[in-house]
């Protein structure tokens, strides 16, 4: 998945496995001394109804506010109820906090879907007409109430996040074959994805982190390559267009605005701090400069100055002089000139089962993706660690080098709803895709996504 000239020598899983007699090739149960191994991917649920997803968002915020006592919440697949576990040793006030009712006023079409055939596609570059003033109708929405169940949980969110953050950088045998770690809220554990596994590794994981705190998803032959690699956009620039940076050819994610100035958002691994960017049509002219970048080109995600959290793989470029960006985004194929207006940003963070589309200079628009993991840590075969990112899966055509930095989105009433920034991709029997939540970008960086 890595283009020639862009760290092509890095090989995922290049380390030598232990002796063949200890290789694990199938499912294995956990014991007191070894972790569970499974080979069949967990079923990905259908996308949650918007009110369910927003109720889960509130429960997640409660856990993040009290991570030492509250477990990561989830949606019970049988009942649709929010399950918000509480550590067994926590006092009754923590249980009451987790169980408090959640009122949700949700619109089912706010965040759109992955259907690219809706209307709203435009051709040619024209100014968006000013919106006419209309009298809005008053609509009374009766909120739906959610009352989370609060079973006792062995491990808190802080317990599991500590494992997730440590395991890919640990010294356990076989760590070089591990490429992702995420929290499995329903089973109150961390799942590690690996392309190869030995009994020695199972034992080491159990000894280091706990036999019931970690499970391994074995995906033989998986390759998650970092994608460092529309063609001729003109000023003002749209999201989804090709951009040339000091590091690679990548894709503009979304146009951005801060204090009235024009910016665009792309992936941090596509750029270097304080470096210039160019656009193919304008040759060597410097159309913008990187002003924020949360990616160390030797190691991966880093915390921005003054922040206590990782924010994925992001770079913010400020346009020079008369160069501008507009609140529109290219859709269609890799050479398409058609585009849609950007409606705004998703009303919530990604959830497992969410459907979405990707857009990039190499593959163009690809829909049919479903989120499979959220708030995960991922290690590319280059060794770079992307922290606090999301993973998606689909069949058919995968993303490719050059798509990095491109938009993750849905379509609502013919307009684009921004959901993320593409970081990289690969395969584990189907296509894998890694992206940063765009809401995290708005939290971590100055400014917001520019609307059309």
Instruction: Dump pLDDT digits (tens) for 98-120.
Output: 999 999 986 655 678 888 888 88
Residue 17: predicted pLDDT: 40
What's residue 96's pLDDT?
97
Cα–Cα nearest to 330, from 389, 434, 405, 407: 407
User: Domain locations in the chain?
Assistant: 23-40+169-225, 237-449
**Predicted pLDDT at 13:** 34
- For the beta sheet containing 288-293, the strands, ordered from the edge strand earlier in sequence to the opposite edge, are 276-277, 288-293, 315-319, 261-266, 254-258, 448-449
Q: If you write DSSP's letter for every residue of 300-321 in order, what string do you get? A: EE-PPTT-SS---S-EEEEEPT
Whole-number pLDDT of residue 117 = 85
The pLDDT score that the predictor gives to residue 227 is 55
User: Could you give the CA distance from residue 149 to residue 86 in angstroms, rounded to a whole number?
Assistant: 10
Question: How far is the C-alpha of 419 from the C-alpha of 430, rounded, in Å?
Answer: 22
Task: Report percent pLDDT > 90 for the chain.
Answer: 78
Give the whole-angstrom CA distance, residue 66 versus residue 63. 5
**C-alpha span between 152 and 264 (Å, rounded):** 45
Start-to-end C-alpha separation, the chain: 33
H or E stretch at 433: strand 431-437
Instruction: Measure the CA–CA gap between 72 and 85, rounded to whole angstroms.
Output: 7
What tens digit of pLDDT does each residue of 388-440 get?
A: 999 999 999 999 999 999 999 999 999 999 999 999 999 998 999 999 999 99
Q: How far is CA 40 from the centre of its chain?
A: 22
Q: For 356-368, write each residue's pLDDT tens digit.
A: 999 999 999 999 9
3-class DSSP state of 244: strand
**CATH assignment of 237-449?**
2.40.10.10
What are the φ and ψ backbone dihedral angles of 442, each rounded to 5 degrees?
A: -70, -25
**Of the candidates 397, 260, 411, which has an alpha carbon nearest to the alpha carbon of residue 324?**
260
pLDDT for 18: 39
Query: Each residue of 188-211: pLDDT tens digit?
Result: 999 999 999 999 999 999 999 999
Kindly report each contact of residues 288-293 with a partner whose C-beta sits within 8 Å and lies 24 or more positions away, as own/partner. Answer: 288/263, 288/264, 288/317, 288/318, 288/319, 288/320, 288/323, 289/317, 289/318, 289/320, 290/245, 290/315, 290/316, 290/317, 291/263, 291/316, 291/317, 291/318, 292/316, 292/445, 292/446, 293/268
Sign of CA dihedral 227, 229, 231, 235: positive
Distance, in Å, from the CA atom of 188 to the CA atom of 427, rounded to the nearest integer, reads: 27
CA angle 194, 155, 201 (to 5 degrees): 25
Whether 178 and 146 have beta carbons less than 8 Å apart is answered as no
Q: Which pLDDT score is estimated for 139?
A: 54
Enter the tokens of residue 355.
């459907």
Q: Which residues of the chain have pLDDT under 70?
A: 1-21, 106-110, 125-141, 226-229
Compute CA 108 distance to the chain's CA centroid, rounded to the nearest angstrom.
22
Helix (H, G, I), strand (E, B) or coil at 163: helix
Q: Which residues contact 212 (CB under 8 A, 6 or more apart)?
A: 30, 154, 189
pTM for this one?
0.86
């Amino acid at each position: 998945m890595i283009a020639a000239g862009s760290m092509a020598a890095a090989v995922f899983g290049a380390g030598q496995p232990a002796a063949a007699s200890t290789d694990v090739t199938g499912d294995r149960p956990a014991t007191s001394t070894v972790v569970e191994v499974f080979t069949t991917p967990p079923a990905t649920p259908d996308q949650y109804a918007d009110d369910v997803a927003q109720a889960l968002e509130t429960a997640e915020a409660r856990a993040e506010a009290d991570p030492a006592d509250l477990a990561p919440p989830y949606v019970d697949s049988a009942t649709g109820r929010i399950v918000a576990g509480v550590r067994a040793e926590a006092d009754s006030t923590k249980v009451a906090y987790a169980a408090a009712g959640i009122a949700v006023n949700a619109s089912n079409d706010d965040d759109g879907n992955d259907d690219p055939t809706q209307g709203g596609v435009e051709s040619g570059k024209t100014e968006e007409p000013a919106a006419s003033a209309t009298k809005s109708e008053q609509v009374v929405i009766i909120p739906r109430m959610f009352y989370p169940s609060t079973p006792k949980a062995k491990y808190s969110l802080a317990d599991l996040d500590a494992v997730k953050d440590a395991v890919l950088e640990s010294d356990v045998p076989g760590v070089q074959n591990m490429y992702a770690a995420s929290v499995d809220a329903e089973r109150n554990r961390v799942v590690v994805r690996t392309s190869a596994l030995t009994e020695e590794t199972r034992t080491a994981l159990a000894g280091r982190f706990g036999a019931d705190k970690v499970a391994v998803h074995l995906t033989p032959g998986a390759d998650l390559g970092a994608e460092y690699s529309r063609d001729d956009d003109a000023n003002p620039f749209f999201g989804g267009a090709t951009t040339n940076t000091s590091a690679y050819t990548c894709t503009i994610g979304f146009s951005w605005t801060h204090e009235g100035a024009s910016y665009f958002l792309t992936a941090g691994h596509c750029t270097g701090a304080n470096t210039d960017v160019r656009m193919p049509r304008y040759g060597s002219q410097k159309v913008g400069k990187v002003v924020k970048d949360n990616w160390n080109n030797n190691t991966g995600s880093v915390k921005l100055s003054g922040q206590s959290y990782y924010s994925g793989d992001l770079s913010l470029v400020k346009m020079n002089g008369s160069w501008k960006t507009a609140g529109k985004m290219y859709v269609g194929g890799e050479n398409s000139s058609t585009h849609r207006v950007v409606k705004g940003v998703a009303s919530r963070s990604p959830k497992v089962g969410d459907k979405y589309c990707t857009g990039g200079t190499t593959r163009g628009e690809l829909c049919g993706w479903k989120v499979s993991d959220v708030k995960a840590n991922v290690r590319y075969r280059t060794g770079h660690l992307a922290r606090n990112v999301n993973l998606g899966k689909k069949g058919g055509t995968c993303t490719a080098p050059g798509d990095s930095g491109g938009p993750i989105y849905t379509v609502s009433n013919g307009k684009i709803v921004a959901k993320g920034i593409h970081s990289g991709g690969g395969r584990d029997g189907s296509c894998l895709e890694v992206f940063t939540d765009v809401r995290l970008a708005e939290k971590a960086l100055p400014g917001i996504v520019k609307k059309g």
